[in-house]
Amino acid sequence: MTSEQIGSQANEPSLEDLMPMIPALRFLPADFSGIEPEAELRYRRFLQGLLSEKTAQELTDNDFREEDKSKLKEYAGKISESLSKGQSPATYDMDEYKETLKAVCARKVVKERRIAALNEIDPPLDDAKKYLSDHEYQQFCDSVPGAIDSFLATSETDRKVVPGVWLLNTKAFGYHDWTRVIQARKREKARQKQAQLEYDRHLDSLSLAVEKVKVHLAQSKKPKFDYPAELDKYHPDWWCDLGLPTKEEVQNWAKRKILEWLPEIMANITRWELSWKVWVLPRAAYESADAPCLRWHFDGHVLVTAELELKTGVIRKHRPEGYSVDVQAAGEKLGSIFFGPREWLILGSFTTPVALLRLLAKGELEGPGISVTQCWPPYMTFAIQGFDEEVEVCDDFVRFIRDISKEKPLLQALVDRGLIDADTAKLAESKWDQPLPAGGSPCGSSPDLKGAVAKLMD
């Protein structure tokens, strides 16, 4: 034996020193004094055999159950009693001690395999605690051993080829069901959390939009429109077949304007009451056909007032993830907003000879070459010499011409009100005293019907 081997043996702890440090041997007597050599030899061989088992050396105090400790103490006591009497320990006692240790070792191996399987399965314990009730959590925990059994019963090759195949084992059904419940509740909780975030965001957006709208409405002022106020009492919208904008046309136009202006988030929860004013502004231009005339056409102007109010209700926002967010809005009056005045095309016109205007300005209805053929309120029809067609004007137009001519000449009064321009006034004034065309019968005179029929008969 070399000096290195002797030194190595000298440094190794003795069997007596090792026994208290190894839980598997701690129950056996470690005092060899007073033991017969033959019994000591046999006892040492028994201890060496136990130490040769690697698993036995790795046992810890936690690996022993109370019943294990009780059995080991029982057989260790019998072994100690035999040794104290100078006898070799009974083979039965040593074998039972060894078998008990083997059972503890085997259980530890199984436990380690199950712990490894548990770590690989990785049950969602934290999520289970969060999303299950106490009773459900206990049921989930009770299902885990079956999942481990199923996992261990499935080969590693099968688990690699088909991940999760072990869940098809009946022992794992309970665990599988609970994991799906946990996942579903976790997804639902995540949706609820996202929905709450969306709700808060939309609520903030809605509040901000409402405040901006209210500030804008508070600063909104009704537009002024330069319109001769006196015209209203003469009803210029009656002066001819104007084709005024209908209620539906105004409402549709106002609705489009409101939705263009209103923030999108408020579009579905805002109601409005509409009112509007239509101004008809007559304007005349000079023309000369059979005689000097003024042709009247009409400019329409519409001003809409919208009273806005936030409805009490719910804004529902559908999310692509498959859920909806409902934002509650509290009803309140927001204020008024104005749209216009918008120019509106009005069809229709009529012509008045200058001679007729001159007559009406004097407050007269008939004169040389001009006669009333029909007076059926609100219209009056004139037959005018030299004109093939009768001229029909509204009663209020007649009254308007008469009234504005009391203080100023008619043409000047029309210029002052913006109904004709200066050039038109000059042209009309130059023809103001021009007589009606000579010859021809006044329009509206009765034709010789009998003569016409007799001529046809020939």
pLDDT digit string, tens, across residues 267-281: 777 888 999 888 888
Does position 192 have pLDDT exceeding 80, yes or no?
A: no
Q: If pLDDT is split at 50, 70 and 90, which confidence band does 222 have?
A: confident
pLDDT, mean over the chain: 82
Does position 143 have pLDDT exceeding 50, yes or no?
A: yes
Tell me the average pLDDT across 311-317. 66
Question: What was the pLDDT predicted at 371?
Answer: 93
Encoding tokens for residue 402?
């008469």
Question: What was the pLDDT predicted at 220?
Answer: 81
Question: What was the pLDDT predicted at 214?
Answer: 82
Question: What was the pLDDT predicted at 446?
Answer: 36
Encoding tokens for residue 24?
């598997």
Question: What was the pLDDT predicted at 124?
Answer: 94
What are the helix (H) ranges across 122-172? Answer: 125-131, 134-153, 156-161
Pick the more confident residue, 37 or 360.
360
Structural domain boundaries of the chain?
12-118, 233-345, 352-457
Q: Which is nearest to 78 in space by CA: 68, 66, 69, 88? A: 88
Looking at 115-124, 246-255, 438-447, which range is the least confident one? Answer: 438-447
Q: If pLDDT is split at 50, 70 and 90, which confidence band does 451 have?
A: very low
pTM > 0.75: no
Q: Facing residues of 297 across strands?
A: 283
pLDDT digit string, tens, across residues 396-420: 999 999 999 998 999 999 999 889 9
Question: What was the pLDDT predicted at 280?
Answer: 86
Tell me the average pLDDT across 279-296. 87
Does position 394 have pLDDT exceeding 60, yes or no?
A: yes
Residue 115 has phi, psi (to 5 degrees) of -65, -40
| DSSP string for 361-393 | HTT-S-BTTEEEEEEETTEEEEEETT-SS-EEE
Question: What was the pLDDT predicted at 295?
Answer: 92
Question: What was the pLDDT predicted at 443?
Answer: 39
| Ramachandran quadrant class, 340 (left: phi over 0; alpha: psi -120 to 50; beta: rest) | left
The rounded percent of the chain whose pLDDT value lies above 90 is: 29
Pick the more confident residue, 272 or 348.
272
Q: Which residue has the tokens 């690989």?
A: 120
Identify the helix (H) or strand (E) that includes residue 69.
helix 66-84
Question: What was the pLDDT predicted at 236?
Answer: 83
Question: What was the pLDDT predicted at 13?
Answer: 65
C-alpha span between 335 and 330 (Å, rounded): 15
Q: How far apart are the first and last CA of the chain?
A: 168
Helices (H) then strands (E): counts for the chain: 16, 9
Query: Which of 17-21, 259-263, 278-282, 399-403 is most confident?
Result: 399-403
Determine contact, residues 285/231, Cβ cutoff 8 Å: no
Cα–Cα distances in Å, from 1 out to 4, 7, 397?
8, 10, 144
Determine contact, residues 284/419, Cβ cutoff 8 Å: yes
Encoding tokens for residue 121?
């399965």
Question: b or e along 66-98 (b: 16 or more beta carbons within 10 Å of the residue's beta carbon)?
Answer: eebbebbeebbebbbebbeeeebbeeebbebbb
Query: Which of 7-11, 194-198, 275-279, 292-296 is most confident?
Result: 292-296
C-alpha span between 125 and 18 (Å, rounded): 41
pLDDT digit string, tens, across residues 57-87: 788 888 899 999 999 999 989 988 888 887 8
C-alpha span between 145 and 151 (Å, rounded): 10
Q: Which residue has the tokens 């028994």?
A: 46
Q: Which is nearest to 352 in space by CA: 410, 398, 404, 293? A: 293
Does position 360 have pLDDT exceeding 60, yes or no?
A: yes
